[in-house]
Amino acid sequence: MGKFYSVAIDGPAGAGKSTIAKALAKELGFHYVDTGAIYRTLGYFFNLIGIGPKDIDGITKYIDECVIEIEWDDEDGSQHMFLNEIDVSEEIRTPEISRIASTVSAHALVRERLLDMQRDVAKKHNVIMDGRDIGSVVLPRADVKFFLTASPEVRARRRFDELQAKGSKDSFEKVLKEVNDRDHADMTRAVAPLKQTKSHILVDTSDMTIEQVIAHMGSIVREKCKV
Ligand code: DC
């Protein structure tokens, strides 16, 4: 079996990971894997069955009832999340599920259960995988690791614009607080916290256009992965 390349993109919420990873994957012909969507699907499941995100006993008891599958659209490469065979790709994108996913993802049991699912994809495809602990835990031997970030204000502004486009009435201050709260939770949790390792290449997108970021990262991937 030939070698498959893997590119890890870690960083805080709203840094542009998914936009950049999607575009890069398309350009390079890699599979884009959004690992946050897996945590969101699990969070959505527990919310649906009335188990709180901190209730580790409930989570332990019911986690096996949650069957998550990932499929990619052949036409546009987009990732779809299935929860017990139902497509929940849209439902998992609310601010409420963001908060729940962040809390659920802090449990060691949860992270452990989702590890193989993420690694299996990388065994079968060239991947660009985005998340928080891809370079540090999930794919420590990834060919290229990026740490993509931007200031909290820039990230909150991007999320605010995105939410407004969907008709949300939330204020900018509220969105900024959510960004800061989620950063704090993701960076201070005991298990697999968001962190930049020595092998991550730092890319601060605060003053860069999407095109500049893609060109910069694309040239690094091409150089290292010979694609
Ligand atoms: O990237 P996102 O906003 O869709 O992620 C939702 C939550 O899932 C985020 O707050 C932290 C968690 N997450 C994680 O712990 N590890 C990952 N690899 C990806 C996401």
Q: Which of 34, 38, 39 to mutate to test the pocket of ligand 1 (most atoms within 8 A of CB)?
A: 39
Q: What is the DSSP letter of 146?
A: E
Tell me what pLDDT residue 74 has.
84
Question: How far lies 7's CA from each of 113, 130, 218, in Å?
Answer: 22, 8, 11
**Residue 65 falls within a domain, yes or no?**
yes
Side-chain half-sphere CA neighbours of 179 within 13 A: 24
Q: How far is the CA of 45 from the centre of ligand 1 (A)?
A: 15
Domain limits for position 118: 6-221
Tell me what pLDDT residue 167 has.
93
What average pLDDT is seen over the chain? Answer: 94
Among protein residues, the one with the nearest Cα to ligand 1's atom 16 is 132
**Residue 41 falls within a domain, yes or no?**
yes
CB-neighbour burial class of residue 178 (10 A; exposed 0-12, middle 13-18, buried 19+): buried
Confidence of residue 3 (pLDDT cuts 50, 70, 90): confident
**Residue 227 falls within a domain, yes or no?**
no
Number of folded domains that form the chain: 1
**Residue 226 falls within a domain, yes or no?**
no
The string of DSSP codes covering 58-81 is: HHHHHGGG--EEEEE-TTT--EEE
Which atom of ligand 1 lies at the shortest distance from residue 37's CA? 4
Task: For ligand 1, say whether the CB of 10 is within 6 Å of any of its atoms.
Answer: no
Tell me what pLDDT residue 145 has.
98
**Residue 81 falls within a domain, yes or no?**
yes
Which atom of ligand 1 lies at the shortest distance from residue 17's CA? 1
Mean pLDDT of 98-108: 95
**Residue 1 falls within a domain, yes or no?**
no
CATH number at residue 204: 3.40.50.300
Task: For ligand 1, say whether the CB of 79 is within 6 Å of any of its atoms.
Answer: no
Tell me what pLDDT residue 226 has.
83
**Residue 38 falls within a domain, yes or no?**
yes
Tell me the per-residue pLDDT of 116-167, one tens digit each, with 9 for 90 and over. 999 999 999 999 999 999 999 999 999 999 999 999 999 999 989 988 998 9
Residues facing 82 on adjacent strands: 69, 87
Q: Which of 105, 178, 187 to mutate to test the pocket of ligand 1 (most atoms within 8 A of CB)?
A: 105
**Residue 133 falls within a domain, yes or no?**
yes
Tell me the per-residue pLDDT of 183-226, one tens digit each, with 9 for 90 and over. 999 899 999 899 899 999 999 999 999 999 999 999 999 999 98
Residue 185: helix, strand or coil by DSSP?
A: helix
First to last CA, the chain: 17
Mean pLDDT of 33-49: 97
Which atom of ligand 1 lies at the shortest distance from residue 105's CA? 15
Alpha helices (H) in 30-171, listed in sequence order: 36-48, 56-62, 95-104, 108-124, 152-165
Give the other-Cβ count within 10 Å of 115's Cβ: 14
Among protein residues, the one with the nearest Cα to ligand 1's atom 7 is 102
Tell me the per-residue pLDDT of 60-92, one tens digit each, with 9 for 90 and over. 999 999 999 999 998 888 899 999 999 999 999
Tell me what pLDDT residue 77 has.
84
Confidence of residue 1 (pLDDT cuts 50, 70, 90): low
Q: How far is the CA of 220 from the centre of ligand 1 (A)?
A: 25
